[in-house]
Amino acid sequence: MAILYPKYETIKNLRVPPTEGEFKMIDFLLENLNDEYEIYFQPFLNGDCPDIILMRKGGGVLIIEVKDWDLNSYHLDYRKRWFVNYNNALIKSPISQVLKYKENMYDLHIQNLLELKLRDYRYWYIVNCAIFFYKENENDVREFLLSPFEQQREFLNDKKAQKDAYDRLKKSEESYLTFLNKNIELIGKNNLNSKDLKDLLYRKWISRQSFNFSSELYDSFKRYLKPSFHSLDDGRNFKYTKKQLELSTSKQGEQKIKGIVGAGKTLVLAKRAVNAHIRTNEKVLVLTYNISLKNYIHDKVSRVREDFYWENFHILNYHDFFNSMMNNFGIEFDIPEDFDNWENWRKEQFFNDKYYGNINLFKDFQNRIEKYSAILIDEVQDYRTVWLRLIKKCFLAENGEFVVFGDSKQDIYNRVSLVESKKVLVIPDSPGRWAELNQSFRLTPIITAFASDFQKKFLAERHIPDEFENIDFQSALFDKVHYKYFGTLDFKVLADFISSYSTKLESHPNDVCVLSLSIETIREIDFHFRKATNERSYIMAETKEFYDHLKEKYGQTKKFYKELDKIRKNKKLHFWMNSGVTKFSTVHSYKGWEIKTLFLIVQKDTLETTYKELVYTGFTRCMNNLVILDIDDNELSTFMDELQFVEKIENPAANKELR
């Protein structure tokens, strides 16, 4: 018998019970497959909840979406979009839904799978898709899916169209059939027999030995499909301050927590998330804005000394969570036909108004949403107010716990409200005072002093300066902020300097990060750094080699930029701190992380309206050795000249020893 996760009894007692069709498919697979096969029912994959995933080690993966639908209640338009008959409401096509689960396996969930597919398309067929229509026969499903072509044929008949119009329609229909045959297995109630199942698994290579579905890839899939247990001994002893312990206490209701950089906001969030799970014995949702930060929060949660199952913690980026919920509930993005011609600001406004900020989007699915008894929001200064309202209204249980964490000085997206010309974190629907964390544990006294002076010089016009509790100017005798003015941007010169100065600082590659405001800058410097040192690195974007490969393959087309976006997101999602290599990232992607030795490349030539906030956010990632590489910011150069604890590096060649 196949191995089922979770156990059958657990599935029967779920808060949202399985449908008849889902039970039918589970029972059928259990009866007809041996223990080489693993069946996962509604696994939580970073927000995605496909109905069933079937996997066989050495074979492959099959995603099965189950629909208990009577197709007489639906119709398709000429664009093959699905509509409900009684109210003509647009819904997501089951084909698009299951293919989205598959795409996300490559683009988001499984490390290295996207890059493998981009280099060798055969990897695309490791994961396969099927839709089970519980109430329909396979032939009826096919006939329904082809109905738009019949409608167009009748239209041509009425218009007495020319032969070439019929030829184009026939070609389009054949192309669609080819697409279905290659990408989707249609399973009707008449296909629930051992022969058809055996044929399907053989046809999709799942029952055979696959060269591409390696043991490493199988382990990566299983890690996501079957989260592990975290024991108390897996955590670490950590001495929390009285204030941190107080704010880590889980309780129902709303709370707002703000703190200076390095004050342990994420540490408090992680412990509070675990405490919330222990208090409620329910799942906890933690939302970030920065995509890569989910792994940092995961790491902090793993350090809490408590027993828990990882499946109880859903840690996601806001937009990924939202997109997954839409896909899970079959809500389709209804994109205007001329959308590609719109300007970017108009596209962003469209998505926010109609989807990401639409407070009523999930109103018809409230009885199907498994609400959270605790939701924690990190970096709340990056959120629009309407997003918070939507999350509370749609996904927070009654009398639930809702906690936000933030710092207005790190408002790099310019979303914090101005109150009497100062940026102040305001959550309109959350009354009460902000709890505060004012002691920085990340920053050395000198970096703290530098942060304080930087705030007063560059941020005070729009922000209320922080009151730091651990400023010690006497440390300037022994500690310095390292600074070099370059004047021009030369990628090779910068890479050589970073390599030599890291060595002088005796910094292990694992403890070094290079930040810039520009993807192009880190891509080029990463390339020259690897050439100069023969060392591996991790860049939170595409490498120069891969960029050139895609550019040669696609040219500067929409496909080129789409693939770039995919690889960048994938690299952020799979970024971990202790990779053993030097890291390269933009400030946007690294926000929330920390590192012992930081090289911050500052370029004034930027259109960013939050330029100074970006610089501040960048250098406050540093825990020890801060090296600022100024390309062309004369105002910053003048400021650095005035600080006694800054060590100016006049030119790299002259610095044989650190002073």
Q: What is the pLDDT of residues 309-342, one digit of tens each?
A: 998 999 999 999 999 999 999 999 988 888 888 9
Mean pLDDT along residues 358-365: 92
pLDDT value at position 606? 64
Q: What is the 3-state secondary structure (H, E, C) of 178-244?
A: HHHHHHEEEEEHHHCCHHHHHHHHHHCCCCCCCCCCCHHHHHHHHHHHCCCEECHHHCCCCCCCHHH
Mean pLDDT along residues 41-60: 94
Lowest mean pLDDT among 292-296, 573-577, 650-654: 650-654
Is 60 exceeded by the pLDDT of residue 658?
A: no
Phi and psi at residue 386, in whole multiples of 5°?
-65, -30
Confidence of residue 471 (pLDDT cuts 50, 70, 90): low
Is 60 exceeded by the pLDDT of residue 462?
A: yes
Q: What average pLDDT is seen over the chain?
A: 90
pLDDT value at position 420? 64
pLDDT value at position 655? 42
pLDDT value at position 443? 83
pLDDT tens-digit map of 498-521 = 999 999 999 999 999 999 999 999
Alpha-carbon distance of 125 to 119, in angstroms, equals 14
Mean pLDDT along residues 384-392: 92
Distance of CA 125 to the CA centre of its chain: 24
Do residues 327 and 97 touch, judged by C-beta distance below 8 A?
Answer: yes
Alpha-carbon distance of 47 to 323, in angstroms, equals 8
Is 90 exceeded by the pLDDT of residue 395?
A: yes
Do residues 6 and 44 touch, judged by C-beta distance below 8 A?
Answer: no
pLDDT value at position 466? 80
Partners of 463 in the β-ladder:
423
Do residues 236 and 345 touch, judged by C-beta distance below 8 A?
Answer: no
Q: Which residue has the higher pLDDT, 422 or 345?
A: 345
Phi and psi at residue 582, in whole multiples of 5°?
-70, 140
Lowest mean pLDDT among 358-367, 464-473, 529-538, 564-573: 464-473
Angle, vertex CA 222, rays to CA 216 and CA 227, nearest 5? 130
% of the chain exceeding 70 in pLDDT: 96
Confidence of residue 472 (pLDDT cuts 50, 70, 90): low
pLDDT value at position 651? 65
% of the chain exceeding 90 in pLDDT: 65
pLDDT value at position 115? 84
pLDDT tens-digit map of 527-582 = 999 999 999 999 999 999 999 999 999 998 989 998 899 899 989 888 888 889 99
Confidence of residue 178 (pLDDT cuts 50, 70, 90): very high
Is 60 exceeded by the pLDDT of residue 652?
A: no
Residue 132, CA atoms < 13 Å, CB-side half-sphere = 28
Is 70 exceeded by the pLDDT of residue 185?
A: yes
pLDDT value at position 223? 87
pLDDT value at position 476? 46
Encode 493-521: b = buried (16+ Cβ within 10 Å), e = exposed: ebbbbbbebbeebebebbbbbbbbbbbeb
Phi and psi at residue 625, in whole multiples of 5°?
-95, 105
pLDDT tens-digit map of 129-166 = 999 999 999 999 999 999 999 888 888 888 888 889 88
Is 80 exceeded by the pLDDT of residue 190?
A: yes
Query: Considering only CA atoms, which of 52, 56, 78 is closest in space to residue 64?
Result: 52
Q: DSSP secondary structure string, 498-565?
A: HHHHHHHTT--GGGEEEEES-HHHHHHHHHHHHHHH---EEESS--HHHHHHHHHHH-SSHHHHHHHH
Lowest mean pLDDT among 284-293, 407-416, 561-570: 407-416
Residues 6+ apart with CB under 8 A from 530: 536, 537
Domains and CATH numbers, the chain: 3-225 (no CATH), 229-437 (3.40.50.300), 445-540+575-648 (3.40.50.300)
Q: Which residue has the higher pLDDT, 238 or 135?
A: 135
Confidence of residue 654 (pLDDT cuts 50, 70, 90): very low
pLDDT value at position 659? 37
Confidence of residue 257 (pLDDT cuts 50, 70, 90): very high
pLDDT value at position 158? 85
Confidence of residue 47 (pLDDT cuts 50, 70, 90): confident
Is 70 exceeded by the pLDDT of residue 608?
A: no
pLDDT value at position 418? 62
Residue 469 in tokens: 């509790």
pLDDT tens-digit map of 431-460 = 778 999 888 788 888 898 899 999 999 998
Q: Which amino acid is at 366?
A: Q
pLDDT value at position 227? 77
